[in-house]
């Protein structure tokens, strides 16, 4: 049994329309899956079904061979961690407090955080290079730093599956690259299964083992990144053709920004 997560005929209806319509997908253990698609395609909704935010879906989601509805909230959180879309919301907590909170599923209601919990937080701070910022309030951090905190928090949750909703959006190239290499290491060294929503097709093709494209709630493509970056597939998913070039390192296809014509 090699599937970390299996989705069968998933449907999500909100306000009378199907946000997700008959999604079936198997994610192997240790895989890094990139979910792409136009705005409003249902990418975030898919993650939100997996993580318990949306609850009214039909179909089956199986994690570790067990239906996800069979897990308690805490049990599910011990299996699946989530980094929400970066938003404008500011938190009054410090970096350390924010990361420590993610130990919640491992602590019983009347239990207290142990020395081991604090050690895990220290590890996560060190791995993400946030050590010097540990006691800074979140509001004083830059967007990139804040995103690292959320990643460190999810790591501290120690779940074998990690979901991320556009983790590099809004970040400058340096911070975006740091987050990407961090995720690469988490995936390779810790064998964490990653499902990541992204709008950056080039990095999705480079980083992902597989690409899963959604369009209007329906599956539009599943396969390797190099196959995804082809004229026909892009036209099918995004409804127009794009300029393609060759990546100087990999020799694979890469999306090149076009000049706007009048």
Would you give the binding string for another protein spanning residues 77-96, x where CB under 8 A is met?
A: xx-xxx-x--xxxxxxxx--
Q: State yes or no: residue 53 binds another protein (CB under 8 A).
A: yes
Q: How far apart are CA 37 and CA 39, in angstroms?
A: 7
Nearer to another protein, 57 or 228 (CB): 57
What is the distance of C-alpha 49 from the center of its chain? 13
Q: How far apart are CA 135 and CA 95, in angstroms?
A: 6
Q: How many residues bind another protein (CB under 8 A)?
A: 35
Q: State yes or no: residue 249 binds another protein (CB under 8 A).
A: no
Would you give the binding string for another protein spanning residues 132-151, x where CB under 8 A is met?
A: -------x------------
Closest distance of CB 124 from another protein, Å: 14
Q: State yes or no: residue 52 binds another protein (CB under 8 A).
A: yes
Stretch that binds another protein, among 7-15, 49-57, 174-182, 241-249 (CB under 8 A): 49-57
Q: How far apart are CA 262 and CA 245, in angstroms?
A: 23
Look at residues 53, 106, 127, 126 and name the one whose alpha carbon lies nearest to residue 84. 53
Nearer to another protein, 22 or 97 (CB): 97
What is the distance of C-alpha 14 from the center of its chain? 22
258 DSSP 8-state letter: P
Q: What is the largest CA-CA distance in the chain?
A: 66
- Cβ contact 162:81 at 8 Å: yes
* Residues binding another protein (CB under 8 A): 48, 51-53, 72-78, 80-82, 84, 87-94, 97-98, 101-102, 104-105, 107, 109-110, 139, 157, 163
């Amino acid at each position: 049994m090699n599937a970390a997560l299996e989705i069968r005929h998933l449907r999500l209806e909100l306000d009378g329309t199907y946000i997700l319509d008959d999604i079936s997908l198997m994610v192997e253990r240790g895989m890094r899956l990139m979910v792409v698609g136009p705005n409003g395609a249902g990418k975030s909704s898919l993650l939100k079904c997996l993580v318990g935010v949306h609850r009214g879906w039909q179909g089956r989601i199986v994690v570790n061979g067990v239906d996800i509805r069979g897990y308690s909230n805490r049990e599910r959180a011990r299996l699946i961690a989530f980094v929400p879309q970066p938003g404008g919301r500011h938190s009054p907590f410090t970096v350390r407090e924010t990361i420590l909170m993610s130990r919640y599923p491992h602590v019983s209601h009347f239990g207290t955080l142990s020395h081991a919990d604090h050690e895990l937080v220290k590890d996560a701070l060190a791995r993400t290079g946030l050590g010097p910022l540990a006691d800074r309030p979140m509001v004083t951090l830059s967007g990139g730093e804040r995103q690292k905190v959320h990643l460190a928090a999810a790591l501290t949750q120690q779940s074998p599956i990690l979901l991320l909703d556009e983790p590099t959006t809004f970040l400058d190239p340096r911070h975006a690259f740091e987050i990407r290499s961090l995720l690469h290491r988490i995936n390779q060294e810790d064998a964490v299964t990653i499902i990541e929503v992204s709008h950056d097709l080039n990095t999705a093709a480079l980083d992902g083992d597989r690409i899963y494209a959604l369009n209007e709630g329906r599956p539009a493509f599943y396969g390797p990144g190099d196959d995804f970056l082809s004229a026909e597939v892009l036209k099918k998913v995004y409804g127009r053709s794009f300029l393609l070039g060759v990546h100087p390192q990999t020799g694979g296809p890469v999306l090149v920004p076009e000049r706007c014509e009048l």
